[in-house]
Structure 1
Amino acid sequence: MKLKSLTGIIIIVCAVILVTTNFTTFSVQGKGNENEKLQFNSDGKYKIVQFNDIQDDEDVDSRTIELMNTVLDDQNPDIAILNGDMLTAEIDTAEEVKQALDTIAQPMEDRGIQWAVTFGNHDEDHTPKTGLDETDMLEIYMSYEHNVNKPGPKDVTGTGNTNLVINNSKNTDPAFNIWLFDSGRYAPDEVAGQNFDGYQTWDWLRHDQVEWYSETSEKLEQTTGHKVPSLAFMHIPLPEFENMWYASPSDRTEESHQKAVEKHNIVGEKNECVCTGPFNSGMFAAMLERGDVKGVFSGHDHINTFVGDYYGIKLGYAGSTGFGSYGLGGEENDRLRGARVFNLDENAEDVLVDTKMLFAEDFGIQ
């Protein structure tokens, strides 16, 4: 009996050690991201860099990391937003996921730059093999010293929906806000017995996400006594991106686009569809009504880089950062690889002063 009891105890202890080891490897105890305060610099300026669609496996293309390093050194931003599709389906193990995330985090971590992520439609493509879903990956992201992601509200669709308040240079009042949305992955096979043949089949923001945004925006205004200007980042673009490009919901001609260029001050390229979901969930209308969001920026469509002003809210893309994902094809395949930069000034009327694309080829990266 004593031998059996001892054997049982040893088995239990070994099991506990195994479980604890696995949890320590891929989970995070919490480093207190809430203590990572965001604040305008003493000159009242603040800079954001957006990286999109790194979309690679554990052996991230060296040119992607070179581009990230070069942009960060050139711009010295205050925060970097990695706006979805960091990973691909070609990852086979949980260890390889961690390896990929370590590589992606390194440019910001080495420089002490704060950063955050949103999730895209490809980030869970590896999950059936690796066993790590968005919740697991968010925990890993949050374990890095300079990451400022938060778990997000419970009972709201998606992972990591949150807002990041940036205080003014005196640290006395919120001067700006960053919204991070999980725009989902793919539409279900069918709804109400009807499939989506003939429709675009990416995901859409759910009504509870729209409600969460509106309620949080209102609470922020009540707390501060004023609307806090903001930018919103989500991987999959809103349907309004397409309407803005043509200044029409139905007329899809070059003539209508030329009218849109003047009407909506559009700059940049559109080389593929605005690949959005089959439903418009009303997020743009909610933002228009609240009046705090100054711009919505996406990725997803790697070879679109345009931005315009759609009834007071900028709608725009950042081209693909990742050299491992698809590009224009042919000799110009990598021409639009890059990052988007946002310059903020707490003394400007809308705080957002300007935004522009930086391209890898401008730095000699190809």
Structure 2
Amino acid sequence: MVSDMAVVSDVSQAAGAPRQLSDGSAAPLCDASHLSVSARLGRLQFHRSGKFRILQFADIQDGPHVNKDTVSLIAAACDSARPDIVIFSGNQIAGYDPAYAGTFINRPWAANWKESSLSEQERQRSMEETSSLVRSSIAQFLQPLIDRDIPFAVTYGTHDFQCGLNTAALDAIYREFPGCLNPKAVVADLRDPEPVPAQGMDRQHVYACEPGTFALTVSDTEGNDTLGIMLVDSGTYALGGGYGSPSLDALEFMRGFAHQSPAKSIVFQNIPVPQYYELLRETAPTRAHAVRGYRAFDHAYYEIDPDKTLPDSYLGEGISCPDKDSGEFDIMASSHGYCAISAGHDHRNGFAGEYRGILMVANPTCGFGSYGPAPQKRAGRLFEFDIRHPYEPRIQLLEFGQIVGRPSSRKAYSFGPSYVPSYGRRAYDLLGRHTGWKKAVQFIRDIFSRSSRENGGEKGSGK
């Protein structure tokens, strides 16, 4: 089982007065004014301390006017985590927002009935208006990264395309912003990696497949590939109902990259694979906090299995995976070329555990423009890799209530508090905020927890 460990930030602070950021906050003091060590080095690379950090944001899912609490969370998480790279794992754009009504597409194979009645000139004008609105939305949630010189990569979900722009058009807009690592090529070629488009990252290469599906390599201090970062467009909707899967090209790309790369990779995508259900256990529908499975799994009710998941895992809704298994997880597990997969999509889920040697991570929404857990539980996910064991990342949710405080608005669409089972194992703070008092309290809790297990106390009772 992959475990979390407490660490202290390894990015030293430079002396001097803090600069002012566009979001109104003071920029943290850091090396060469970069929060990303990799940005300063010109490539994704483990630090001299042996650490490498990825910060993931799932399901911003907002319209042209991004909720300011979402932007505050992104900024605070970047300041707290000091990531080498930020991953946006899909559903950044709420394509169903009324602002995109003129170009809205419900399904990839459907037509916009309103657009079909327009002239070519009117259709072009509508697309330009949508592009402008999407560009404005992207600019708002990217601004904290731009201010802090943090590179980023993007893939797509089930709502981005609904605004009427396909993933190639969205990719082109993202590449207009500094720090974007999404490649221009749309033809898979594992033999010929291309330079990333981001200025200042001239030492970094990327393997391209299709918009939203590509691989980045992370090197050690000697330039040897030590870790891979695979972004996958996990699809949208299936013709027969339910959610889609990665394209055949994407699956073949994953298989080929695993065989070619000397290092294992972590996968980031929007839709979870069916194997996420392996981290749950069936339970009675009358049990408190029982959650019914989704579609192919709706014959049973589920809850978090504490024996298979990490501390602080919680389940707020059924895992909305495809009805049919595309074979993606089997590619990951059987090729021995992958160490983890991290998905979003289900806004109220936040859990992680290992199955067949693969760390599987589910992430709640970081956005305040759609449904989700209580506002204080919306979060980004931090991954910290250690060069000594690069395929066993330490992970932590950076929750709004912990790193920002109270939300500025009560308009966030949320449900009741999510169920968090009781665990015998500890949850650690990757940000290293351990005061003497907190350590003493945790020590006492550990003693009582150990005593409870030895006396046959029930795990997962929630009591």
TM range (shorter): 0.7 to 0.9
Q: Distance in 2 between matches of 1:185 and 1:174?
A: 32
TM-score of the aligned structures, taking structure 1 as reference length: 0.77
From 73, 76, 79, give the equivalent of 1:73: 79
**Displacement of 1:158:** 5.7
Contact 1:45 1:343 in 2 (8 A): yes
Q: Distance in 2 between matches of 1:271 and 1:179?
A: 27
Q: Distance in 2 between matches of 1:286 and 1:359?
A: 32
Tell me what 1:278 maps to. 323
SS at match of 1:39: coil
Tell me what 2:213 maps to. 161
**Displacement of 1:153:** 4.4
Range moving further from structure 2, 92-101 or 108-117: 92-101
Tell me what 1:16 maps to. none
Q: Distance in 2 between matches of 1:114 and 1:176?
A: 17
**Displacement of 1:95:** 1.1
From 151, 161, 170, give the equivalent of 1:137: 170
Q: Say if 2:116 is the partner of 1:110.
A: no
Contact 2:313 2:351 in 1 (8 A): yes
- AA paired with 2:363? A
More helix by share: 1
Q: Distance in 2 between matches of 1:184 and 1:166?
A: 26
Contact 1:152 1:162 in 2 (8 A): no
SS at match of 2:349: coil
- AA paired with 1:177? G
Tell me what 1:147 maps to. 180
**Displacement of 1:353:** 3.2
Tell me what 2:361 maps to. 316
- AA paired with 1:358? L
**Displacement of 1:157:** 8.5
Range moving further from structure 2, 203-212 or 137-146: 203-212
Q: Distance in 1 between matches of 2:213 and 2:156?
A: 9
Question: Deviations along 1:186-222, whole A, 9 cap, x unmatched?
Answer: 112x4xxxxx4xxxx111123332221111221223x
- AA paired with 2:233? D
Tell me what 1:203 maps to. 244
Range moving further from structure 2, 72-81 or 146-155: 146-155
Range moving further from structure 2, 179-188 or 210-219: 210-219
Tell me what 1:240 maps to. 275
Aligned length, in residue pairs: 304
Q: Distance in 2 between matches of 1:312 and 1:242?
A: 15
Q: Say if 2:424 is the partner of 1:362.
A: no
TM-score of the aligned structures, taking structure 2 as reference length: 0.62
**Displacement of 1:235:** 0.3
Q: RMSD across aligned C-alpha pairs, in angstroms? A: 2.4
Q: Say if 2:254 is the partner of 1:219.
A: no
Contact 1:157 1:206 in 2 (8 A): no
Range moving further from structure 2, 62-71 or 312-321: 312-321
Q: Distance in 2 between matches of 1:183 and 1:295?
A: 15
From 392, 400, 411, give the equivalent of 1:352: 392
**Displacement of 1:169:** 2.1
**Displacement of 1:244:** 2.4
Do the aligned partners of residues 57 and 146 (structure 1) sit closer, same or farther apart at CA in structure 2, a change above 3 Å counting?
Answer: same
Tell me what 1:38 maps to. 44
Contact 1:158 1:183 in 2 (8 A): no
- AA paired with 2:261? L
The runs of 5 or more residues in structure 2 that have no matched partner are 1-38, 101-129, 189-207, 284-295, 408-463
